[in-house]
Structure 1
């Protein structure tokens, strides 16, 4: 079987065909993967029934609202769908009636979007997905949390909400760097069993007596060992954390099985659509940590796959490997 045929087979078996580009996994501009590229959906006839199909397909619960250009950044590239008219019981947006792929009378100021019930409300800004400054999404923007009364119970709620295991540490005094937007929460006091940080007692959104030198953070047990550097947290250049620094992966023997392991390891990123090579997402500038990676596809972490050894390679950064995953954590 050729590598191209294998990729197509993997796409059929694993590749989701839609994603949301926006502030959370479950809220943003709808994009469809077709003909090896992502493109947008025109908002002609776009309504809550179409949104229901999108939210269900992405595992994001039910649709809360449809979004238009007033709430979305404009996409670029192709507009793949127009005049979408779902019944509501379709398993995928692309199964709904539409004009045909690429047939439209729109431009990108008509891009369609959705907000689903299970949109993420917090993120960590730092060195890994599970370690960093806590930020909350409120009133259409991200803001920080003041460290007044910040403790391990608050951190436990954050780590559990993000699927990052349990809390190791609740940090203060902008340990992960100072934010530069609003300070949304102060005097947070969690009991520890809340499902979301915003369910904990606090002073009220935007009510505080702090500055960004008091930004709160957390360290969770499941601190990620890899990240993607690119346009989203689920699409980009693969980087591995080793010996206290981030480094890249060489694209020698890099394929869809390796990409599958990466996408699965990065929680919320779904399955692999594409394994990219030749620094498709830009060249790194630090160490090259892995080369000749050869995953079977069932490993729990990329670093569990066979490779030459950390730092042993015959590559340069023009060969940096990357992935496109079905999920979208553009926080």
Structure 2
């Protein structure tokens, strides 16, 4: 038997820890009511200007076909902000947040709140929208290349205009704490397939990346894939090298990135860094700012790892130093190591 809240949908929501971004309020059952969407931390109503059956079909998705689309606060007036106006869905979208609409400006009152009545005989079809985000190829689930799920496949985000406000939204969406760094130029490696979003401009208050201003057309390649580091874990990065597995060692402490002094820096220390970044074995441990001089604080000195530690902070070290940035330590891991002979690469 079909029920209004399809059991398959419930199970998928539990598995994916998915929080629906729309609900029907004040109806006779879960398949009818005033349409509300969740945005910037609260539920908001939708104005009935140009609202039609295509819009209602999207609102009813997973709940069956549209029976009717009553207007003028048929299910009672909502409260708080009115988020969407002039919604113009084609009917094929997964969520009304994907439909063309005006946001932030409207000429409506809650007497114009829209509602829907759905048939309650929906058959579940997977319909994931751009609210699904993951971080790939980083150190755990809270750092990596930004990927979004759309049109039944994962794709990347271009780094044009990519900044800390955008990273902040991704970290919030993934429950990974605050944003530590917003990285471009495929720092976490190049993705494949589609580039779904470009020119993203978040204010930082949005709940999902999809809610930020953006374009779906682009002039990018995967060498411009955007990345994020969130504060959910302790972080070490390799900077200014050939990809994420070689470069100057930088660690995040006290809300800022800083470097490591090369006093006593050796292969055991490099081994721990490569392990921590999931970059394979250590190939070399260059000092003397081989990958350029950093800026700001020098957070660690006289590091002495055994090589068995999981993170650099677990190694014996001092936080006081007598160093300058021309002594910044570096690492080259196996993942970024290659031999070049007569212009040919030998793996």
Range into which the TM-score falls when normalised by the shorter chain: 0.3 to 0.5
Larger C-alpha radius of gyration, 1 or 2? 2
Relative contact order higher in (CA < 8 Å, ≥ 6 apart): 1
Question: What is the TM-score normalised by the length of structure 2?
Answer: 0.38
Question: What is the TM-score normalised by the length of structure 1?
Answer: 0.40
